[in-house]
Structure 1
Amino acid sequence: MSGVLNIFVVSPDTRSERRIEPYWTVQELKDKLEVITGIPSSNQRISLLESEGNQNALAQLSENSRELSEYGLRDWQVLKVEDTNPSVSFTGQLSDVSQVEKFELSDVEYAKRQDSVLAYKKRNRVGRFTETEEEGIQPPMAIDIPIGARCEVESAEPGLSKRGTVRYIGQTNFSKGTWVGIEYDEPIGKNNGSVQGERYFECRQKYGVFVRPEKVRVGDYPVEEISLDDEEM
């Protein structure tokens, strides 16, 4: 048997993947595993397993003078290393937390600490602290704009009347705050009642728009007739 083997090595405190040479003797293997597992070579009991899920030992590597090739090792098998005298090397105690005194804080004490994850989130406005506790989250403003009402939208262009019908009022996924969805009388909008794949109301393409409530005036605004005489063509 020749060639380097890839083997898993497990012990009470370690688990690792190792490359070993088949010509090593068991004693040479133990000497190398002492550094890895912390178990003195003289206290090691090594079992060869097919896998970690199968704890039935295929062989015990107990004869220090024999070469590993004599045990028929294959890639990705497992060498389970046990400590026959754990009281000397403290094997297993590194991963045993049952005797460790727990450090506990009350919720009030934890909230006072400045080196905690909670403090970090507050400082950087992460998660639920996007709005700080001092600022608070403002409740939705009261809006007297009925669904279905006729309206006119404030325009920056002189003489342009942007009239339509209110189709939606509320929160959206594309931006914070309250938005008013309007179906214009003419194709001067930006969408069809949906934004970024989320539908809020139905209308034809380019007839829909979302604006802030303060830009909307509700009233008896009739639909303006579009003149098609020769002077306006």
Structure 2
Amino acid sequence: MSGILKVWVVSPDTHSERRIDPHITVEQLKGKLEPITGIPAANQSITILASELDPRVLASLTDDSKKLGYYGLADWQVLKVVDTNPSSSLTGQLTDVTQVDKFELSPEEYAQRRDTVLAYKQRNKVGRFAENEPLAEPEMAPESVNIPVGSRCEIESLEPGLSKRGTVRFVGATKFSKGVWVGVEYDEPLGKNDGAVQGERYFTCAPNYGVFVKPEKVTVGEYPVEELEIEMEDEEM
């Protein structure tokens, strides 16, 4: 078995690992490949590819009298076999769909079947069968939000009677969520960030002093700085 090569043999209908003697001729190789690929030897066109991951054509086996070693065949290269006359071979007949009668249904017959894509869409109300849903309310535009950057504000809290004070540092659209968001620098470390969310910076403040809230939770006014000791709210980002 000395000198035997391990190569891949691929054809339109087969893919297998084979052991090939590089001392055989191209003609002998075609004879061995005929029962493997189903392609008659006379119809075979064989090329050598660098590997399964590298489809570069290294050589075409055009001379039936030459030995495989002449073409430099090496381990784990690919012998790609193409059928030059598929209509005359068994594999060609199996893959030639032009020779198969088509099964056709009229639109009425198709609509009555229960194992079709149409029936699936009807059952699950998909596509044109979907129920009409109410239109979503339009997103608020940044210019319609009357919250000046730099103004003092209070942020609504879920706990009755408690509010958080700070300074507005950002108003506008963000990448982390749709709509308009207000970036606030708290007076105390009650926030969740330093003005950046998911790697995008919108303003700068000390860590845990920054927060982003929806405009309706912000009240602008003359709010002096006061010390607060409350926990962070889950609706803030």
TM range, smaller chain: 0.5 to 0.7
- C-alpha change, 1:15 and 1:138, in structure 2 (3 Å) is farther
Q: Distance in 2 between matches of 1:146 and 1:220?
A: 13
2:185 equivalent in structure 1:
183
Give SS of 1:19's match: strand
8 Å contact from structure 1 (residues 59, 71) kept in 2: no
Q: Number of residues paired by the alignment?
A: 197
1:102 equivalent in structure 2:
none
**Mapped pair 1:202 → 2:204:** yes
Root mean square deviation, CA, Å = 4.8
2:176 equivalent in structure 1:
174
Match 1:60 to one of 64, 67, 82? 64
Shift of residue 18 of structure 1? 3.1
Q: Distance in 2 between matches of 1:46 and 1:157?
A: 80
Q: Distance in 1 between matches of 2:5 and 2:47?
A: 14
TM-score for the superposition, normalised by structure 1? 0.57
> Structure 1 unaligned runs (5+)?
98-113, 126-131, 227-233
8 Å contact from structure 1 (residues 48, 61) kept in 2: no
Q: Distance in 2 between matches of 1:71 and 1:54?
A: 9
Shift of residue 124 of structure 1? 9.1
1:37 equivalent in structure 2:
37
Shift of residue 178 of structure 1? 3.0
Percent of residue pairs bearing the same amino acid type: 54
Q: How does 1:27-176 map to 2 (within 5 A)?
A: 29-30=29-30, 32-41=32-41, 43-44=42-43, 49=48, 53-57=57-61, 59-61=63-65, 74-76=74-76, 79=79, 81=81, 87-89=87-89, 115=117, 134=133, 138-141=137-140, 142-157=144-159, 160-176=162-178
Q: How does 1:202-221 map to 2 (within 5 A)?
A: 202-221=204-223
Give SS of 1:201's match: coil
8 Å contact from structure 2 (residues 38, 90) kept in 1: no
